[in-house]
Protein backbone atom coordinates (compact mmCIF):
# COMPACT_ATOMS: atom_id res chain seq x y z
CA UNK A 1 0.00 0.00 0.00
CA UNK A 2 0.96 3.65 -0.40
CA UNK A 3 1.21 4.07 3.41
CA UNK A 4 3.54 1.08 3.72
CA UNK A 5 5.79 2.44 0.94
CA UNK A 6 5.89 5.88 2.59
CA UNK A 7 6.84 4.35 5.97
CA UNK A 8 9.53 2.21 4.31
CA UNK A 9 10.95 5.24 2.48
CA UNK A 10 10.97 7.17 5.75
CA UNK A 11 12.91 4.41 7.50
CA UNK A 12 15.38 4.17 4.60
CA UNK A 13 15.92 7.93 4.61
CA UNK A 14 16.55 8.12 8.36
CA UNK A 15 18.85 5.10 8.28
CA UNK A 16 20.78 6.58 5.32
CA UNK A 17 21.85 9.45 7.57
CA UNK A 18 24.79 7.71 9.23
CA UNK A 19 26.23 10.78 10.93
CA UNK A 20 25.81 14.49 11.59
CA UNK A 21 28.37 17.30 11.66
CA UNK A 22 28.14 19.58 14.72
CA UNK A 23 29.06 23.13 13.67
CA UNK A 24 29.86 24.30 17.22
CA UNK A 25 29.64 27.85 18.51
CA UNK A 26 31.71 29.36 15.72
CA UNK A 27 32.75 28.39 12.21
CA UNK A 28 36.15 29.99 12.78
CA UNK A 29 38.57 27.19 13.68
CA UNK A 30 40.81 29.49 15.74
CA UNK A 31 37.88 30.73 17.83
CA UNK A 32 36.72 27.13 18.28
CA UNK A 33 40.09 26.21 19.81
CA UNK A 34 39.78 29.09 22.30
CA UNK A 35 36.29 27.87 23.21
CA UNK A 36 37.73 24.38 23.68
CA UNK A 37 40.23 25.59 26.32
CA UNK A 38 37.65 27.77 28.13
CA UNK A 39 35.02 25.02 28.21
CA UNK A 40 37.56 22.42 29.33
CA UNK A 41 38.20 24.67 32.35
CA UNK A 42 34.45 25.08 32.91
CA UNK A 43 33.83 21.32 32.68
CA UNK A 44 36.73 20.48 35.02
CA UNK A 45 35.39 22.93 37.62
CA UNK A 46 31.86 21.55 37.17
CA UNK A 47 32.87 17.92 37.76
CA UNK A 48 35.32 18.69 40.60
CA UNK A 49 32.99 21.11 42.41
CA UNK A 50 29.85 18.98 42.17
CA UNK A 51 31.61 15.73 43.10
CA UNK A 52 33.11 17.53 46.11
CA UNK A 53 29.61 18.48 47.25
CA UNK A 54 28.41 14.87 46.78
CA UNK A 55 31.38 13.56 48.83
CA UNK A 56 30.90 16.24 51.50
CA UNK A 57 27.18 15.58 51.99
CA UNK A 58 27.48 11.78 51.94
CA UNK A 59 30.44 11.73 54.37
CA UNK A 60 29.12 14.31 56.88
CA UNK A 61 26.84 13.25 59.73
CA UNK A 62 25.65 16.84 60.22
CA UNK A 63 24.44 17.46 56.67
CA UNK A 64 21.49 15.09 56.95
CA UNK A 65 18.54 17.47 56.46
CA UNK A 66 16.30 17.22 53.36
CA UNK A 67 17.93 20.36 51.89
CA UNK A 68 21.32 18.59 51.69
CA UNK A 69 19.72 15.37 50.45
CA UNK A 70 18.32 17.32 47.49
CA UNK A 71 21.59 19.23 47.04
CA UNK A 72 23.53 15.96 46.79
CA UNK A 73 21.21 14.68 44.04
CA UNK A 74 21.32 18.06 42.26
CA UNK A 75 25.12 17.98 42.18
CA UNK A 76 25.15 14.42 40.83
CA UNK A 77 22.65 15.39 38.10
CA UNK A 78 24.79 18.43 37.21
CA UNK A 79 27.83 16.19 36.59
CA UNK A 80 25.78 13.87 34.34
CA UNK A 81 24.07 16.79 32.59
CA UNK A 82 27.33 18.53 31.67
CA UNK A 83 28.95 15.24 30.67
CA UNK A 84 26.33 14.68 27.96
CA UNK A 85 27.45 17.72 25.93
CA UNK A 86 30.79 19.14 27.18
CA UNK A 87 33.30 16.33 26.34
CA UNK A 88 32.04 16.04 22.75
CA UNK A 89 32.08 19.80 22.32
CA UNK A 90 35.61 20.16 23.77
CA UNK A 91 37.09 17.36 21.64
CA UNK A 92 35.13 18.42 18.55
CA UNK A 93 36.47 21.98 18.73
CA UNK A 94 39.96 20.64 17.99
CA UNK A 95 39.04 19.00 14.66
CA UNK A 96 37.76 20.50 11.43
CA UNK A 97 34.66 18.32 11.13
CA UNK A 98 33.11 17.39 14.47
CA UNK A 99 31.05 14.36 13.47
CA UNK A 100 28.61 12.36 15.59
CA UNK A 101 26.82 9.16 14.56
CA UNK A 102 23.04 9.15 14.15
CA UNK A 103 22.69 6.86 17.19
CA UNK A 104 25.12 9.01 19.19
CA UNK A 105 23.17 12.13 18.27
CA UNK A 106 19.84 10.66 19.38
CA UNK A 107 21.51 9.34 22.56
CA UNK A 108 22.89 12.81 23.30
CA UNK A 109 19.44 14.33 22.72
CA UNK A 110 17.88 11.81 25.13
CA UNK A 111 20.53 12.25 27.85
CA UNK A 112 20.45 16.04 27.63
CA UNK A 113 16.68 16.24 28.16
CA UNK A 114 16.66 13.41 30.73
CA UNK A 115 19.15 15.06 33.09
CA UNK A 116 17.96 18.59 32.30
CA UNK A 117 14.34 17.81 33.16
CA UNK A 118 15.38 15.85 36.26
CA UNK A 119 17.30 18.94 37.43
CA UNK A 120 14.23 21.14 36.90
CA UNK A 121 12.07 18.92 39.12
CA UNK A 122 14.75 18.58 41.81
CA UNK A 123 15.05 22.40 41.94
CA UNK A 124 11.26 22.56 42.30
CA UNK A 125 11.37 20.01 45.15
CA UNK A 126 14.08 22.11 46.85
CA UNK A 127 11.81 25.17 46.64
CA UNK A 128 9.01 23.21 48.35
CA UNK A 129 11.47 22.14 51.04
CA UNK A 130 12.43 25.81 51.70
CA UNK A 131 8.75 26.82 51.77
CA UNK A 132 7.92 24.20 54.41
CA UNK A 133 11.05 25.01 56.46
CA UNK A 134 10.25 28.75 56.62
CA UNK A 135 6.44 28.85 56.55
CA UNK A 136 5.67 25.61 58.48
CA UNK A 137 8.72 25.21 60.76
CA UNK A 138 6.91 23.28 63.52
CA UNK A 139 5.56 20.69 61.09
CA UNK A 140 8.74 20.53 59.00
CA UNK A 141 10.04 17.15 60.36
CA UNK A 142 6.65 15.54 59.69
CA UNK A 143 5.97 17.12 56.29
CA UNK A 144 9.49 16.57 54.93
CA UNK A 145 9.97 12.97 56.01
CA UNK A 146 12.70 10.78 54.51
CA UNK A 147 10.01 8.82 52.68
CA UNK A 148 8.59 11.95 51.01
CA UNK A 149 12.07 13.22 50.08
CA UNK A 150 12.86 9.86 48.47
CA UNK A 151 9.60 9.97 46.55
CA UNK A 152 10.24 13.53 45.34
CA UNK A 153 13.70 12.61 44.05
CA UNK A 154 12.46 9.33 42.54
CA UNK A 155 9.57 11.20 40.92
CA UNK A 156 12.03 13.74 39.49
CA UNK A 157 14.08 10.98 37.82
CA UNK A 158 10.92 9.27 36.50
CA UNK A 159 9.51 12.56 35.16
CA UNK A 160 12.84 13.30 33.47
CA UNK A 161 12.81 9.88 31.79
CA UNK A 162 9.21 10.31 30.58
CA UNK A 163 9.84 13.84 29.28
CA UNK A 164 13.00 12.78 27.45
CA UNK A 165 11.29 9.79 25.85
CA UNK A 166 8.42 11.96 24.60
CA UNK A 167 10.92 14.51 23.32
CA UNK A 168 13.32 12.08 21.63
CA UNK A 169 11.03 9.55 19.93
CA UNK A 170 9.19 11.96 17.56
CA UNK A 171 12.54 13.47 16.51
CA UNK A 172 14.27 10.10 16.02
CA UNK A 173 11.43 8.85 13.80
CA UNK A 174 11.67 11.82 11.40
CA UNK A 175 13.28 11.17 7.99
CA UNK A 176 16.77 12.70 7.62
CA UNK A 177 18.09 12.64 4.06
CA UNK A 178 20.45 15.65 4.05
CA UNK A 179 21.97 18.11 4.70
CA UNK A 180 23.64 16.78 7.84
CA UNK A 181 25.16 19.92 9.40
CA UNK A 182 23.68 20.61 12.87
CA UNK A 183 23.84 24.35 13.63
CA UNK A 184 24.66 23.76 17.28
CA UNK A 185 27.40 22.29 19.50
CA UNK A 186 25.20 19.35 20.55
CA UNK A 187 22.16 17.50 19.22
CA UNK A 188 18.96 19.20 20.34
CA UNK A 189 15.39 19.17 19.04
CA UNK A 190 15.23 22.52 17.21
CA UNK A 191 18.47 22.13 15.19
CA UNK A 192 17.49 18.56 14.18
CA UNK A 193 14.00 19.64 13.10
CA UNK A 194 15.63 22.06 10.65
CA UNK A 195 17.35 19.09 8.96
CA UNK A 196 14.34 16.76 8.67
CA UNK A 197 12.99 15.98 5.20
CA UNK A 198 9.37 16.29 6.31
CA UNK A 199 6.79 18.70 7.68
CA UNK A 200 8.02 19.28 11.26
CA UNK A 201 5.30 21.64 12.51
CA UNK A 202 3.64 18.94 14.63
CA UNK A 203 7.00 17.83 16.12
CA UNK A 204 7.91 21.46 16.77
CA UNK A 205 4.61 22.03 18.58
CA UNK A 206 5.22 18.92 20.70
CA UNK A 207 8.73 20.16 21.58
CA UNK A 208 7.47 23.61 22.65
CA UNK A 209 4.55 22.11 24.58
CA UNK A 210 6.82 19.56 26.28
CA UNK A 211 10.02 21.43 27.17
CA UNK A 212 8.58 24.94 27.13
CA UNK A 213 5.58 24.23 29.34
CA UNK A 214 7.66 22.24 31.86
CA UNK A 215 10.30 25.00 32.09
CA UNK A 216 7.81 27.85 32.35
CA UNK A 217 5.35 26.13 34.72
CA UNK A 218 8.10 24.99 37.12
CA UNK A 219 9.65 28.47 36.99
CA UNK A 220 6.29 30.06 37.87
CA UNK A 221 5.82 27.56 40.74
CA UNK A 222 9.28 28.47 42.05
CA UNK A 223 8.57 32.21 41.83
CA UNK A 224 5.20 31.75 43.55
CA UNK A 225 6.78 29.75 46.37
CA UNK A 226 9.30 32.52 47.06
CA UNK A 227 6.59 35.20 46.93
CA UNK A 228 4.68 33.23 49.60
CA UNK A 229 7.88 32.93 51.67
CA UNK A 230 8.54 36.69 51.49
CA UNK A 231 4.91 37.51 52.36
CA UNK A 232 5.07 35.15 55.36
CA UNK A 233 8.13 37.05 56.66
CA UNK A 234 6.23 40.33 57.00
CA UNK A 235 6.44 41.59 60.54
CA UNK A 236 9.28 39.20 61.42
CA UNK A 237 12.51 40.37 63.04
CA UNK A 238 15.51 41.27 60.89
CA UNK A 239 17.22 38.07 62.06
CA UNK A 240 14.35 36.02 60.62
CA UNK A 241 14.70 37.77 57.27
CA UNK A 242 18.45 37.18 57.26
CA UNK A 243 18.10 33.47 58.07
CA UNK A 244 15.42 32.94 55.42
CA UNK A 245 17.29 34.80 52.70
CA UNK A 246 20.58 33.08 53.53
CA UNK A 247 19.01 29.66 52.92
CA UNK A 248 16.91 30.75 49.92
CA UNK A 249 19.33 33.17 48.24
CA UNK A 250 21.57 30.50 46.74
CA UNK A 251 18.58 28.56 45.42
CA UNK A 252 17.00 31.67 43.84
CA UNK A 253 20.32 32.48 42.12
CA UNK A 254 20.62 28.96 40.68
CA UNK A 255 16.99 29.01 39.51
CA UNK A 256 17.45 32.32 37.65
CA UNK A 257 20.72 31.17 36.00
CA UNK A 258 19.21 27.87 34.86
CA UNK A 259 15.57 28.67 34.10
CA UNK A 260 16.03 32.07 32.44
CA UNK A 261 18.01 30.89 29.38
CA UNK A 262 16.27 27.48 29.31
CA UNK A 263 12.78 29.04 29.15
CA UNK A 264 13.93 31.51 26.47
CA UNK A 265 15.08 28.70 24.16
CA UNK A 266 12.21 26.23 24.60
CA UNK A 267 9.10 28.36 25.14
CA UNK A 268 9.11 29.61 21.54
CA UNK A 269 9.21 27.86 18.16
CA UNK A 270 12.65 27.29 16.66
CA UNK A 271 13.99 30.55 15.27
CA UNK A 272 17.52 31.92 15.22
CA UNK A 273 19.71 28.87 15.97
CA UNK A 274 22.88 30.95 16.38
CA UNK A 275 21.10 32.85 19.16
CA UNK A 276 19.88 29.59 20.73
CA UNK A 277 23.34 28.02 20.90
CA UNK A 278 24.85 31.12 22.51
CA UNK A 279 22.13 31.15 25.19
CA UNK A 280 22.44 27.36 25.68
CA UNK A 281 25.98 27.82 27.05
CA UNK A 282 24.47 29.31 30.22
CA UNK A 283 22.29 26.34 31.16
CA UNK A 284 24.55 23.56 29.81
CA UNK A 285 27.91 24.75 31.21
CA UNK A 286 27.79 27.95 33.24
CA UNK A 287 24.93 27.12 35.66
CA UNK A 288 26.21 23.58 36.56
CA UNK A 289 29.69 25.04 37.09
CA UNK A 290 28.46 27.86 39.36
CA UNK A 291 26.10 25.71 41.47
CA UNK A 292 28.81 24.36 43.83
CA UNK A 293 30.29 27.85 44.33
CA UNK A 294 26.89 29.43 44.99
CA UNK A 295 25.80 26.79 47.50
CA UNK A 296 29.12 26.73 49.37
CA UNK A 297 29.75 30.49 49.43
CA UNK A 298 26.30 31.11 50.95
CA UNK A 299 26.27 28.15 53.30
CA UNK A 300 28.53 27.99 56.36
CA UNK A 301 27.55 24.38 57.21
CA UNK A 302 28.69 23.08 53.80
CA UNK A 303 31.95 25.06 53.99
CA UNK A 304 32.64 23.69 57.48
CA UNK A 305 31.93 20.10 56.38
CA UNK A 306 34.21 20.55 53.35
CA UNK A 307 37.06 21.78 55.53
CA UNK A 308 36.62 18.75 57.84
CA UNK A 309 36.59 16.42 54.82
CA UNK A 310 39.78 17.98 53.40
CA UNK A 311 41.51 17.79 56.81
CA UNK A 312 40.56 14.16 57.33
CA UNK A 313 41.79 13.26 53.80
CA UNK A 314 45.03 15.15 54.48
CA UNK A 315 45.62 13.36 57.79
CA UNK A 316 44.83 9.95 56.31
CA UNK A 317 47.18 10.71 53.42
Element (H, E) at 182: strand 181-182
pLDDT of 13 higher than 80: no
For residues 172-178, average pLDDT: 84
Measured distance CA(114)–CA(157) in Å, rounded: 8
Comparing CA positions, the residue from 117, 113, 103 lying closest to residue 172 is 103
Element (H, E) at 140: helix 140-143
pLDDT of 7 higher than 70: no
Residue ranges per structural domain of the chain: 26-301
pLDDT value for 258:
80
176 versus 276: the higher-pLDDT residue is 176
pTM: 0.85
pLDDT value for 14:
43
Does residue 294 contact residue 250 with C-beta atoms inside 8 Å? Answer: yes
DSSP 35-47: HHHHHHHHHHHHH
Of 96-110, 190-204, 264-278, highest mean pLDDT: 96-110
What is the dotted CATH code of the domain comprising 26-301? 1.20.1070.10
Each residue's pLDDT tens digit, 96-115: 788 899 999 999 999 999 99
Amino acid sequence: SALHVAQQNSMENSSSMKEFILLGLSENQGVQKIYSVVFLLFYTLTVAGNLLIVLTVTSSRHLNSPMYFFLCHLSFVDVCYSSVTAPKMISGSLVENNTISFAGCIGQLFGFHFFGCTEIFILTAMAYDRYVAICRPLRYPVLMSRRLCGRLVGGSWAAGFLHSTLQTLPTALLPFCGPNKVAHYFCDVHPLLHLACADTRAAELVAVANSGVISLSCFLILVASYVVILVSLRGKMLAGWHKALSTCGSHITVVILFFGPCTFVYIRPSGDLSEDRSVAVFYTLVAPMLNPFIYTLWNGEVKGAMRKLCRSKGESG
